[in-house]
Amino acid sequence: VTDWGRSERVEGLLDRTLIDFLYHLWFRCEVEGIENVPSEGGALLVSNHAGALPPDASMIAKAIKEEHAYPRPLHLTMEHFFKGYPGFSMLLPKIGAVPAHPANVHRLLCDEDQLVLVFPEGAKGTEKLYKDRYRLRRFGRGGFVKAAMRARVPIVPIAVVGSEEAQPVFAHLSGLARLTGLIYAPLTPLVYLPAKFTIRFLEPVRTDDFGPAHPAPWEDRALVQTISQDIRARIQRELFDMIGKRDSVWFG
């Protein structure tokens, strides 16, 4: 177990069995632009987020492991909620998830030169209904841009197609959510549907060329929001582009 609570054994076991099966056979992941993920140094990966129990994070991690010339571990960020919920709290850190605290992200990116994956949409992305599929939600408060700028690492936007159909959310059962204390309890297929996954890594956005450290560029709200909106727009455009070229939800 590493200092972050990541366990090679649990992660390896899950990777060899379930993730491997999902990646190759179930979702038949197709990866484009993997060379946009840097081989060394920290980088912040930003992706769209969907599916009631989102499979996109583990598929992106697996894609980097399988396709990248220098496979690197990827740290996923999770809602603090999961740290406080029994079961999730035990399992998720073991497979490389860390609570999405700015200090954690900064330490990983800047001091440990790791890859970190964030979903700026957060729960708003996963709880959106099927009719809203592939329409990006608000990108938080731009905290991810701030984190990348402070650590002076590039941001790699990612567009994932397929996760919306893998586990569409049809409705919300608010009563059940209240009863179990979960953030949401969706009406959704209990197993993933075999949608075809396409993961496209986009050109990295540099964050270290916004002038000197004083005054700190990440304190400039307008700049942070602009970059955040730009990245969101790019992912949205790529998503529509990929869907436009897709013949079938199930076969790509």
Partner 1 sequence: MRVLVTGLSTYWGGRLAAELEGDPDVEAIIGIDRRPPKVALQRTEYVQVADAHSLIQRIVEAAEIDTVVDTRLVVDSTVTSAKRAHENNVIGTMNILAACSGPDSPVRRLIVKSSAHYYGAERDDPAFFTEDMRRPHPPRTRIERDIVEAENAIQDFAHAAARVKVCVVRFANGLGAGMRTPHTRVLGLPAIPMILGFDPRYQFIHEEDIVGCLAHATRAGLEGTYNGAADGVLALSEVCGLLGRPPAPILPPWGTKLAASQLARAGLRIPDEMLAQLRYGRGLDNRRIKASGYRFRFTTREAVLRFRETLRLAPMLATAGDGYRYEREVEEFLRYSPSVRASAKSEPRLQNLAPGGRAEGLAALAPPPDAS
Q: Which residues contact partner 1 (rule: CB under 8 A)?
A: 1-5, 7, 80-81, 83-90, 93-94, 98-99, 101-104, 107
* Least separation in angstroms between CB 98 and partner 1: 6
Return the number of the residue (1 or 129) whose C-beta is nearest partner 1.
1
Return the number of the residue (82 or 240) whose C-beta is nearest partner 1.
82
Return the number of the residue (18 or 90) whose C-beta is nearest partner 1.
90
Residue 224 contacts by C-beta under 8 Å, 6 or more apart in sequence?
A: 142, 145, 146, 149, 218
* Least separation in angstroms between CB 129 and partner 1: 28
* Least separation in angstroms between CB 106 and partner 1: 9
Return the number of the residue (31 or 109) whose C-beta is nearest partner 1.
109
Q: What is the full DSSP assignment across 34-79? A: GGGS-SSS-EEEEE---SSS--HHHHHHHHHHHH-SS---EEEEE-
Q: How far is CA 243 from CA 150, 175, 218, in A?
A: 34, 35, 34
Q: Are 106 and 114 in contact (CB under 8 A)?
A: no
CA-CA distance, 240 to 22, in Å (whole number)? 24
* Least separation in angstroms between CB 2 and partner 1: 8
Return the number of the residue (9 or 131) whose C-beta is nearest partner 1.
9
Q: Residue 19 is encoded by which pair of tokens?
A: 């993730």
Return the number of the residue (112 or 241) whose C-beta is nearest partner 1.
112
* Least separation in angstroms between CB 14 and partner 1: 15
Residue 199 contacts by C-beta under 8 Å, 6 or more apart in sequence?
A: 29, 30, 31, 32, 59, 60, 63, 158, 159, 160
* Least separation in angstroms between CB 43 and partner 1: 19
Q: In 10 A of CB 153, how many CB atoms?
A: 26
Return the number of the residue (148 or 158) whose C-beta is nearest partner 1.
148
* Least separation in angstroms between CB 47 and partner 1: 22
Sheet of 115-118: strand order equals 30-32, 198-201, 155-161, 43-47, 115-118, 74-78, 97-99
